[in-house]
């Protein structure tokens, strides 16, 4: 069946987010183990050597799904919906010595170019090839300081059983299988969202009829090497996700993009980036997740112009409003008639202008702010024609 563009974007976003969450969850699990009570971490006298007891499959899977033992790895993931071609994601993450999020590089192959998300230190970037756009600090800082994805996949499974031994990526593993309880997934995600102040995904429990999980766990270290999930939806369609981990706990080189651009990416990648930003924003409790608002250069441009004692004219608008759209052509006309810096921005960006406009009470659209050479601001509300607006700018000191 053909896949619509909106569905494809959502699909790519899910894969990219899923691979990112794997690395983010690693940071939380590792942090939790770092804060284990001293009584648990104490160096007790070693017990007499005994032959190791056989580990039950459920215990093996529980240990594997607590992925805090994975400090670094390369990953190769695939997502398939029905008979459509699989979407492939590749990447790596490395926690190193840091306590917060690991550095990570997660890419989707799309149209011959790798697009995705890179995080290095306390900064993250939407990337296409070797070009990056900074993820706004308002979105990423809450995630970096307090990873929001504190879920517990070991609560999602039941009927765990062993499927024997297999070699995966050169490692001898135990293959275990289990059924996924959709309602348990919903309950755990709701709990995690409540604890982080974000919003849990809705509709999962109704959309998924049943699910199966397979995991391949290192026999010597109980570390996950591969996981495969297949979901059967209420309409009978199947969704499968498979992730393979290689070079576990070996150093991974992850660099910031070589070329940086201001603002946000455009086109199809821009839509994907906006979807991912929205998910990050909701999970971290951010008030705004609009990339056009959070990456607008206009607040900085206005501040610099005021410092140079230049006049500034700002239109705050709702892009869908009729008067707002009419004001766009008015602003172009005024820009040609005056020497003021003329800017247009989404009304949601008002707070980013800080002291320049904070005393005006901008609350409706269209709203026009005129700032004179002394930094004093004046507010005009509603549609204003070009002649009136040009004269108002000329009258400003």
pLDDT in tens, 25-37: 555 555 554 443 3
pLDDT value of position 154: 80
Question: Using 50, 70 and 90 to split pLDDT, how confident is the model at 5?
Answer: very low
Tens digit of each residue's pLDDT (9 = 90 or more) over 111-146: 677 888 999 988 999 999 999 999 998 888 887 776
pLDDT in tens, 56-113: 888 888 888 877 788 899 999 888 888 777 788 899 999 887 666 789 999 987 667 7
Convert the pLDDT of each residue in 218-257 to its tens digit.
Answer: 999 999 999 999 988 888 888 898 999 999 999 999 999 9
Confidence of residue 39 (pLDDT cuts 50, 70, 90): very low
pLDDT digits (tens, 9 = 90+) for 167-188: 999 999 999 999 998 888 878 7
Phi and psi at residue 142, in whole multiples of 5°?
-60, -35
DSSP 122-185: TEEEEEETTEEEEPPHHHHHHHHHS------GGGSEEEEEEEEEEEETTEEEEEEEEEE-HHHH
pLDDT tier at 51 (50, 70, 90 boundaries)?
Answer: very low
Cis ω for the linkage preceding 122 (within 30 of 0): no
- How sure is the predictor about 318, in pLDDT bands with cuts at 50, 70 and 90? very high
Query: From CA 34, how far away is CA 60, in angstroms rounded?
Result: 21
List of domains in the chain? 5-33+57-284 (2.50.20.20), 296-395 (3.40.30.10)
The pLDDT of residue 217: 94
Tally of helices (H runs) and strands (E runs) in the chain: 11, 16
CA atoms within 13 A on the CB side of 40: 6
Q: What one-character-per-residue DSSP string does 212-250 give?
A: EEEEEEETTT--EEEEEEEEEETTS-EEEEEEEEESTTS
């Amino acid at each position: 069946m053909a896949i619509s563009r909106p569905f494809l974007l959502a699909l790519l976003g899910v894969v990219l987010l899923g691979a990112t969450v794997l690395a983010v969850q690693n940071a939380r699990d590792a942090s939790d183990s770092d804060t284990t009570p001293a009584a648990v971490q104490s160096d007790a006298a070693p017990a007499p050597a005994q032959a190791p007891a056989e580990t039950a499959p459920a215990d093996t899977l529980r240990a594997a799904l607590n992925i805090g033992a994975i400090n670094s790895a390369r990953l190769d993931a695939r997502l398939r919906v029905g008979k459509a071609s699989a979407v492939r994601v590749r990447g790596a993450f490395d926690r190193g010595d840091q306590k917060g999020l690991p550095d990570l590089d997660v890419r989707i192959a799309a149209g011959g170019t790798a697009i995705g998300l890179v995080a290095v230190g306390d900064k993250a970037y939407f990337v296409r090839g070797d070009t990056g756009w900074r993820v706004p600090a308002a979105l990423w800082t809450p995630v970096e300081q307090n990873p929001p994805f504190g879920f517990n996949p070991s609560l999602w499974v039941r009927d765990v059983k062993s499927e024997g031994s297999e070699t995966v990526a050169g490692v001898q593993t135990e293959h275990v299988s289990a059924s996924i309880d959709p309602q348990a997934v919903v309950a755990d995600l709701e709990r995690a969202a409540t604890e982080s102040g974000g919003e849990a995904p809705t509709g999962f429990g109704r959309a998924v009829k049943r699910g199966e999980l397979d995991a391949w766990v290192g026999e010597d270290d109980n570390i996950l090497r591969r996981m495969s999930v297949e979901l059967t939806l209420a309409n009978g369609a199947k969704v499968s996700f498979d992730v393979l981990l290689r070079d576990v706990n070996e150093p991974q080189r992850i660099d910031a993009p070589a070329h940086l651009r201001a603002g946000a990416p455009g086109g199809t990648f821009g839509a994907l980036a906006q979807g991912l930003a929205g998910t990050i924003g909701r999970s971290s409790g951010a008030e705004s997740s609009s990339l056009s608002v959070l990456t607008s250069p206009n607040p900085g441009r206005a501040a610099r112009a005021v410092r140079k004692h230049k006049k500034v004219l700002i239109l705050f608008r709702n892009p869908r409003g009729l008067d707002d759209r009419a004001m766009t052509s008015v602003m172009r006309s005024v820009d040609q008639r005056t020497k003021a810096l003329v800017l247009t921005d989404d009304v949601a960006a008002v707070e980013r202008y800080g002291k320049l406009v904070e005393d005006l009470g901008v609350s409706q659209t269209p709203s026009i702010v005129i700032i004179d050479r002394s930094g004093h601001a004046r507010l005009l509300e509603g549609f204003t024609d070009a002649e009136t607006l040009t004269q108002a700018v000329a009258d400003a000191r």
